[in-house]
Amino acid sequence: MKAEQVMGAIGMANMTIRPGDTYVAQGVNDLPVVGSNQISALMESACSTAIIEFLDFGETTVTTNLQIQIQGAVGIDHEIHATARCLGLDEGILQFEVEVHQSARLVASGFITRKFVERVSFMARVAAETMVAEKENQVSEKKIASSLNI
């Protein structure tokens, strides 16, 4: 993929805020407004739609850096829209400018960096890293139990 192919590519995503999308449901605080994790996921979705037509078979992208600023809150049953614009591609790294709006009101904005990965090898690496982490956790738990004479 060449930088000039994706430069300026635009993707969009939208969602209607449900009770489970709020800070209350996520145990963050007692406000029934959309959580920042939902906003960032919507932004990432817009990034993916911006470049999906340029991906090779078996290829995808994953977020490596996310910088967002939340400018407003949105309550349950309201719709929000994310827009992502690809700013460029350098050595397999994509840069996006992202915004989330409720109608014309800006709710959040920021920048997202995503890198290309081959889907199967990426998931194999995730599985291997998970197995290693679980094994290390079991060893640590046994050491703790042994030191406590359990």
- Report which of 74, 76, 71, 81 is spatially closest to residue 104, judged by C-alpha positions: 81
Q: Please name the residue that has the structure tokens 């145990």.
A: 27
pLDDT given at position 68:
97
Q: Please name the residue that has the structure tokens 């800070």.
A: 23
Blockwise average pLDDT, block size 10, the chain, 150 residues: 82 96 91 94 97 92 96 96 96 95 97 95 92 79 67
Domains of the chain: 3-118 (3.10.129.10)
Q: What is the CA radius of gyration of the chain?
A: 20
